[in-house]
Amino acid sequence: MTGYRCYAENLMRKLLMGYRIYFNHDVLNSDGRRIFEDILRSMIYSKEYHPGLFKQARRNPCLENILKIAKILLPEDEIREIIMTSIEGPVRNDYWRLLYRE
């Protein structure tokens, strides 16, 4: 694994963890786009170039397209955990249901 790949992975974690900061209505805002361009640049340097996917994600930087690129960099269970934590917070609704049952 190259240093560029690790850098891209860490930036993707930052982008997904900061969902409320970097996304507006499930589309990247300008700050999110800057981070996303750094991710793509690092992927190109690390020889992981997917031209069709990059082009699609640049034209329409919605959450769905960002997650397609995230699946290249990160395992799916980690992506799911990061997204759930960033959207719902550290305490999930599942835990509250358990409290109300007792």
Q: How far apart, in whole angstroms, are the C-alpha atoms of residue 28 and residue 25?
A: 8
Residue span of the structural domain in which 9 resides: 3-101
pLDDT of residue 75: 93
**Domain count for the chain:** 1
The answer to whether 81 touches 13, Cβ cutoff 8 Å, is: no
pLDDT of residue 97: 55
User: For residue range 32-85, what is the model confidence (pLDDT) as tens digits?
Assistant: 999 999 999 999 998 888 889 999 999 999 999 999 999 999 999 999 988 888
> Does 27 have pLDDT greater than 60?
yes
pLDDT of residue 22: 93
User: For residue range 42-53, what is the model confidence (pLDDT) as tens digits?
Assistant: 999 988 888 899
pLDDT of residue 26: 87
